Amino acid sequence: MRYEIIGQISPIINVTLDEGEQLRTQKGAMICMDGTMRMDTEVGDVGKAFQRYLTKENVFLNIFTAQAHNSQISLSSTFPGEILDIEMDGDIAIMAQQTAFLASTTNIDVSVGFTKNLGAAFFGGESFMLQKIQGEGMVFLETAGNVVTKELDDGEVLYVDTSNLVAFTEDVAFEVQASRGFKNILFGGEGLFLTKMTGPGFVWVQSVTLDEFAERLQPYLKTIQVQTPPNSSSNNSTGVSLKTLMDMARRD
């Protein structure tokens, strides 16, 4: 398998497979493919399908099989942001946020992983269920905004807003701690709790979250009125055009 990621804000992955090679993707990830590529939609193991449901992924997966050498397929993510490509060596699993999985080679296994510290669920703003990704091969994760990769030495500490956490290797210790200082809590804008990551291992952090993006657009969505077409069933509909949203994002 060979691949190329084109773009950063709304990237596309161009994947080239040799005959017989396969790629597993989330539903709706494919944007185009060669006529020599066969697609099969499957549920697979019932237990694993249920685990995908628990982590808010679609229970159906698409398997693309190359019927000839140099068969190509293009994939895209569901939200503007970098596509994170990680080569797994089969030794250490990766814990990722729910819905992060985009695609992988078929020897990669995605299951439910649980945070060892339930404080992450109750105070960190995230579910205690994560995606546990393991195996040997390539995996592609979708993110929001830009991604920073942090490599932590043994005992090195990194504090992260939990909602900005994309993934981390399983050897990183993960716990939630209260923010220090009354002024920090009241005026810092970072909330009562932060997630403490302790190395060794890798941590991937995204610059924005879906909830933050939706929250920042909400005031505009409430106030902007767009004229509906004369033949529309309603003459009082409220909405915004894609161009309007893009203009607002640039100004903000």
CATH code for position 32: 3.60.160.10
- Distance, in Å, from the CA atom of 128 to the CA atom of 97, rounded to the nearest integer, reads 10
pLDDT-derived band at 34 (thresholds 50, 70, 90) equals: very high
User: Which of 117, 146, 175 is the C-terminal boundary of a domain?
Assistant: 146
Kindly state whether residue 126 falls inside one of the protein's structural domains.
yes
In this structure, are 141 and 246 located in the same domain? Answer: no
Report the amino acid identity of residue 131.
Answer: Q
Counting the structural domains of the chain, the total is 2
Q: How far apart are CA 226 and CA 87, in angstroms?
A: 46
User: Which structural domain range is residue 232 located in?
Assistant: 212-251
Clarify whether residues 104 and 217 are in a common domain: no
Q: What is the pLDDT of residue 246?
A: 55
| Calpha distance 237→239 (Å, rounded) | 7
Q: What percent of the chain has pLDDT over 70?
A: 69
Q: Are residues 108 and 6 in the same domain?
A: yes
Amino acid at 130: L
The Cα 232–Cα 249 span in angstroms is 28
Question: Beta strands of the chain (E only): which ranges?
Answer: 2-6, 12-17, 22-26, 30-33, 37-42, 61-66, 71-76, 83-89, 94-96, 101-105, 108-114, 129-142, 147-152, 157-160, 165-169, 173-178, 193-198, 201-206
Question: Do 134 and 15 reside in the same domain of the chain?
Answer: yes
141 and 221 assigned to the same domain: no
Q: Which region among 18-27, 45-54, 106-115, 166-175 has the lowest average model confidence (pLDDT)? A: 45-54
Does residue 159 fall inside a structural domain?
no
Domain final position from 146, 175, 192: 146
pLDDT at res. 124: 47
Which one has a higher pLDDT value, 87 or 123? Answer: 87
Site of tokens 């993960």: 174
Q: State pTM to two decimals.
A: 0.75
Read off the tokens for 157. Answer: 């500490």
Determine the average pLDDT of the residues in 48-54. 51
In a domain, 174, yes or no: no
CA distances to 64, 73, 145, 204 from 37, rounded to whole Å, are 6, 8, 31, 32
Q: Amino acid identity of 90? A: G
Tell me, yes or no, whether 140 and 221 share the same domain: no
Instruction: Indicate whether 135 and 229 sit together in one domain.
Output: no
Shared domain check, 243 and 135: no
- Rg of the chain over Cα atoms, rounded to whole angstroms, equals 21
Nearest to 112 by CA among 69, 57, 54: 54
Domain C-terminal end among 98, 118, 146: 146
Residues of the chain by 3-state class (helix, strand, coil), percent to 5: 20, 45, 40
Q: Is 163 within a domain?
A: no
> Domain check: are 25 and 122 in the same one?
yes
Same domain, 226 and 118: no
Whether residue 71 lies inside any domain: the answer is yes
Claim to verify: residue 141 and residue 216 sit in the same structural domain: no
Q: Is residue 158 part of a domain?
A: no
Question: Does 161 reside within a domain?
Answer: no
Q: What is the pLDDT of residues 236-248, one digit of tens each?
A: 444 555 555 555 5
pLDDT of residue 93: 95
- Tell me, yes or no, whether 103 lies in a domain: yes
